[in-house]
Amino acid sequence: MTVSLHGLAVARGVAIGRAVLVVSSRVDVAHYFIQASEVEAEIGRLRTARDAVAQELQRLQASVAQMKREDAPHELAALLEVHQMLLQDDALTEGVKHWISERLYNAEWALTTQLEIVARQFDEMEDDYLRERKADLEQVVERLLRQMKGTAAVLAPPPPPRRARTDSDEGEAGEGDFDVPLVLVAHDLSPADMLQFKKSVFAGFVTDVGGKTSHTAIVARSMDIPAVVGARSASQLVRQDDWIIIDGEAGVVIVDPSPIILAEYGFKQRQGELERERLWRLRHKPAVTLDGEAVELLANIEMPEDSTAAVKAGAVGVGLFRSEFLFMGREARSLTRLPDEDEQYEAYRRAVEGMRGMPVTIRTIDIGADKPLDGKASKQEYLNPALGLRAIRWSLSEPAMFLVQLRAILRAAAHGPVHLLIPMLAHAREIRQTLALIEHAREELRAQGVPQGEVKLGAMIEIPAAAMMLRVFLKHFDFLSIGTNDLIQYTLAIDRADEAVSHLYDPCHPAVLRLVADTIAECRRQGKGVSVCGEMAGDVQFTRLLLGLGLRSFSMHPSQILAVKQEVLRADTGKLAPWAQQVLDSDEPSELLGH
């Protein structure tokens, strides 16, 4: 039966494929693909964990047998026996082997996938006693996961991309068929998971939670694949290998579509591909408006290798290198596990050299809220993580770590033009502390005789307080970069990752537009550079407004550059300026913007 689910559209396009579920677990589970040559080793990890859990249960059974009856009731011994039976059950072990060998999942991912399938079988049982055994199965799997955590494999590169299914393919692909597109479905995905999947084979993804500017959504846009977040119960309603359609334009997920619906979306998918091909022809055309205003279109990147996509899309530089993605998946409470100076230097150098002489803006680490270092931090750990120890606040609280990053960035600047961008500044004392540490890092490199380069210094304007003290900022910085994602969040008191209040997240709010406009105007007045690097920069619905407000530097994901360039080429800034002022003066700007 066809089912439609509704969420938030965060990356445009249409994806059609088989569902791959990432199942939630109380134990932190890594999800990655292995190589075909590693299948036996991964099954060996599973076998080792199963044997260890079996021995653990045997020890518990032996200790129970030695206890007095009043200390160890018969039910406890029976329960341990049930756990032993479930541990050896073929439905569990053979199923896990199937996901490892056929889909090349790592053992933990395969185990949670099979748990979800078997658990649903328990839910459908009529007998109450048998139905309640699902909890026992979950406990057994949790024991296995905890055992495997000590034998975790190093992340392997993904297998080669699978051939997409075409209209000429006959019949329906079965389980394990590598000839069909795969679509990821999960309750939520950490930024670290998203980075791993970014290198892989998925045609689209769906999550139960998240907002339009959550980091999961941002990475999805950088992957240029259709995505829907905030689809609430998608991970419960979709089953492994279900055929599903993701409509990234409408924010709709269609499960088990009929042939007619499949044909309709297949046509829509081909139309989108034709539009992308048409935009691709603009990649070498300079971004100049009809009235001769040159516009700088920059790229946002997460990893050094993303510079290749930026150059291909026609970016004239990197306006935002999110350096925190180099730190993802590390143990947050152990600074020795974070990338050292040489590892960071090599990453920044690769990005600089990859841009072939064009400038690279490296933002210092911005962790916290929806970007925990180790993928485990949750909202329960803080009263409000978005207002807590994040971004520059965390860096200043860990000066040794911060100096390592600053030295690495300064060293990379010897290989090409680098701009250094500081996130989430709000106080003059934070500015002074940051500048002092930058100078300290320079002195350390000079003392060691290590080559370094000059950098332009910039600050993010993403807190209303910062937008209201621009003159203080412009005394110390060469340029400003407006981070609209957080600026909207903090101006409107909206958690941008929470789908429950996503309808209140409004880039068109008069207060937000006024802060953006004032920042652009003040920078132009003082002859300082200013760009927008938040999601507004890559949204073609805002291109004309930002141009009318005087913005001449946009930074966005490479996948969005050509669509924005098309709007720039069609724009006349002289005519847009008075209209933009009308939008600013309006009580309902969205009406004039056509939103």
Active-site residue among 83, 215, 415, 419? 215
Q: Are strands 418-422 and 360-363 parallel, antiparallel or unpaired?
A: parallel
The answer to whether 496 is annotated as binding is yes
Nearest-CA neighbor of 502 among 217, 222, 213? 213
Query: Is 486 annotated for ligand binding?
Result: yes
d(Cα 309, Cα 518) in Å, to the nearest integer? 33
- Name the nearest CA neighbour of 205 among 335, 337, 13, 25: 13
**Candidate list 31, 419, 523, 533, residue with the active-site label:** 533
List residues bridging with 253 in a β-sheet: 5, 246
Q: Is 506 annotated as a binding residue?
A: no
Q: Residue 9 burial (CB < 10 Å; 0-12/13-18/19+)?
A: buried
Q: Is 462 annotated as a binding residue?
A: yes
Q: Output the 3-class SS for 376-425.
A: CCCHHHCCCHHHCCCCHHHHHHCHHHHHHHHHHHHHHHHHCCEEEEECCC
Check the annotation: does 384 bind a ligand: no
Residue 174: φ, ψ to 5°: -95, -175
Active site residue 533: yes
Residue 485, annotated as binding a ligand: yes
Reduced DSSP (H G I as helix, E B as strand, rest coil) percent helix, strand, coil of the chain, to 5: 50, 15, 35
DSSP-assigned states of every residue in 471-530: HHHHHH-SEEEE-HHHHHHHHHT--TT-GGGGGG--TT-HHHHHHHHHHHHHHHHHT-EE
Q: What angle do CA 217, 552, 293 make, to 5 degrees?
A: 135
**Residue 523 among the catalytic residues:** no
Q: What positions carry a catalytic annotation?
A: 215, 533
List, as residue ranges, the binding site for Mg(2+).
Answer: 462, 486
List, as residue ranges, the binding site for phosphoenolpyruvate.
Answer: 322, 363, 485-486, 496
List, as residue ranges, the binding site.
Answer: 322, 363, 462, 485-486, 496
